[in-house]
Amino acid sequence: MGKKIVQTAGRNQLGEFAPMFAHLNDDVLFDEVWNDEAIDVKTKCIITVVSLMASGITDSSLQYHLQNAKDHGVTKEEIAAIITHATMYVGWPKGWAVFRLAKEVWNEE
């Protein structure tokens, strides 16, 4: 197993307001699910990007997960192919939106 994924955004942003949600985000999703070894982290990153894309989520959470994908070895060529492939199934406008964010993450103007 590589470096353990640790997330504190739930507690940092919602800890007092929504402690159960913070727990589920930080301890269940990111600690248990992301650190489970049945699927490697790079693959989880790709699945997450495509899931958010399919849902039409193109906010800071997608940008975070694109950066996470890059940090875990997804190359510019791979993300371009992943987005192109997923676009055929989830819709052209979603592809355009995700490419805009991906270009920012991979530092392409």
Tens of pLDDT, residue by residue over 34-62, are 999 999 999 999 999 999 999 999 999 99
pLDDT over 80 at 1, yes or no: no
Task: Find, among 59, 58, 64, 61, the residue nearest to 94 by Cα.
Answer: 58
Q: Beta-carbon neighbour count of residue 85 at 10 Å?
A: 12
Q: Count the helices and strands in the chain (H runs, E runs).
A: 7, 0
Residue 105 has pLDDT above 80, yes or no: yes
Average of per-residue pLDDT values in the chain: 93
Same domain, 45 and 72: yes
Question: 14 near 26, Cβ under 8 Å?
Answer: no
Residue 107 belongs to domain with CATH number: 1.20.1290.10
What does pTM read for this prediction?
0.88
Structural domain including 78 reads: 40-109
Give how far Cα 69 sits from Cα of 7, 21, 87, Å. Answer: 15, 24, 18
Same domain, 82 and 92: yes
Both 45 and 30 in one domain: the answer is: no
**Are 63 and 96 within one domain?**
yes
Residue 10's pLDDT is what?
86
Q: Verify that 67 and 103 share a domain, yes or no.
A: yes
Same structural domain, 47 and 91: yes
Structure confidence at residue 15 as a pLDDT band (50, 70, 90): confident
Q: Are residues 15 and 50 in the same domain?
A: no
53 and 84 housed in the same domain:
yes
pLDDT at 65 (0 to 100): 96
More confident residue, 108 or 59: 59
